[in-house]
Amino acid sequence: MAPRSQPTARQVRLGTELRRLREAAGLKAREVAGLLSSTSAQMSQVEAGLAGVSEERLRRLAAHYACADEPLIEALVAMATDRSHGWWEQYRGTLPPVFLDVAETEYHGTYLREVVTSHVPGLLQTADYARAVFGYMVPELPDSELEPRVEHRMRRRVVLDREASVPYETIVHEAALRILVSDRRTAHAQLLEVLRAIEEGQVTVRVVPLAREGFAGAGIEMMYVGGPLPQLDTVLRDAPHGTAFIDAESQLARFRALLNKVGKAALPPVESRDFIHRMTKEL
């Protein structure tokens, strides 16, 4: 089977976890290849997410690595045997792959925790707000590229709207709520949309007020996505080259600490709701 040309973030993560298990066992790829009647090159493809691995082979690898973490093995088997195609696959070839990877990662998350300081969270944006954000790119996007981005952003909300919705908490800096990315009508409608999501129980929103003293974390933005196990968590961060997917254990611990630190500066949920409600009266 030919190697995948564009493995998804989920496929890459599976390969990464298999590599970590091998390295923890102190084995080289060429030493393991013989076990599967494979080659070191093919093992490298599996660990890079460029090739799949069957459940039987994955379990043999785990046994060879002396991995006794059954919950982890079962989680990896679920990732390896998942043949479903999510709604985001409709955009393959239309949008950059990272858009699909973000949607897939959110969809499979067990919970979402986010910190935003520059824009309203993507999962809560209205179409007009998202259109203004994407429309500010340089060079300016033609409608044929702009509208699929807006549509994709709206469809990401399925994680909040579906029957088995993903628990979602977002900490939003007041500045992000006040910036007029478009006009006042759009800003007012956007705040009402955030309030609607709060009232319907889709999301927990906590606001960091501009007047909060001792808050120097305005540059911290991230989406923390819970995995089926803590070691399978993922942090998404915007970077100059696109969204970065972070999963190293030490980095995950760092971002959890940052989340908790920012959380201490945020208002409780009810006070945040009332805060946003007052803001709507000012527009």
Question: Which of the two residues, 163 and 209, has the higher pLDDT score?
Answer: 209
Has residue 1 got a pLDDT over 60?
no
What is the mean predicted confidence (pLDDT) over 173-178?
A: 98
What is the mean predicted confidence (pLDDT) over 82-101?
A: 94
Binned at pLDDT 50, 70 and 90, residue 56 comes out as very high
Closest listed residue to residue 217, CA positions, set 169, 267, 265: 265
CB 206 within 8 A of CB 267: yes
Has residue 144 got a pLDDT over 60?
yes
Alpha helices (H) in the chain, listed in sequence order: 9-24, 29-33, 40-47, 55-64, 70-81, 97-107, 127-134, 143-155, 158-161, 174-178, 184-199, 249-263, 269-282
- 186 CB contacts (<8 Å, ≥6 apart)? 126, 128, 129, 132, 180
Backbone angles phi, psi at 169, to 5 degrees: -125, 130
The per-residue pLDDT for range 261-282, each reduced to its tens digit, is: 999 999 999 999 999 999 999 9
Q: For the beta carbon of residue 149, count every other beta carbon within 10 angstroms.
A: 21
The per-residue pLDDT for range 125-136, each reduced to its tens digit, is: 999 999 999 999
Instruction: Output the DSSP codes for 3-53.
Output: PPSS--HHHHHHHHHHHHHHHHTT--HHHHHGGGT--HHHHHHHHTTSS--
The per-residue pLDDT for range 196-249, each reduced to its tens digit, is: 999 999 899 999 999 999 999 988 999 999 999 999 999 999 876 779 999 999
What is the mean predicted confidence (pLDDT) over 81-109?
A: 95
DSSP class of 234: E
Out of 14-23, 31-40, 179-188, 269-278, pick the least confident: 31-40
pLDDT at 240: 66
Has residue 14 got a pLDDT over 80?
yes
Write out the two tokens for 37.
Answer: 């009647």
Angle at 282 between CA 212 and CA 168, to 5 degrees: 60
pLDDT at 2: 60
Amino acid identity of residue 71, one-letter, is P
Closest listed residue to residue 202, CA positions, set 234, 242, 174, 162: 162
The mean pLDDT of the chain is: 95
Q: What is the CATH number of domain 88-282?
A: 3.30.870
CATH 1.10.260.40 domain range(s) in the chain: 9-81
What is the mean predicted confidence (pLDDT) over 247-266?
A: 96
DSSP class of 239: E
CATH 3.30.870 domain range(s) in the chain: 88-282
66: alpha, beta or left? (left if phi > 0; alpha if psi -120 to 50): left
Binned at pLDDT 50, 70 and 90, residue 164 comes out as confident
The per-residue pLDDT for range 58-77, each reduced to its tens digit, is: 999 999 999 999 999 999 99
Has residue 83 got a pLDDT over 90?
no
CB 255 within 8 A of CB 221: no
pLDDT at 84: 84
Backbone angles phi, psi at 155, to 5 degrees: -75, -20
> In terms of CATH architecture, what is 9-81?
Orthogonal Bundle (1.10)
pLDDT at 168: 98
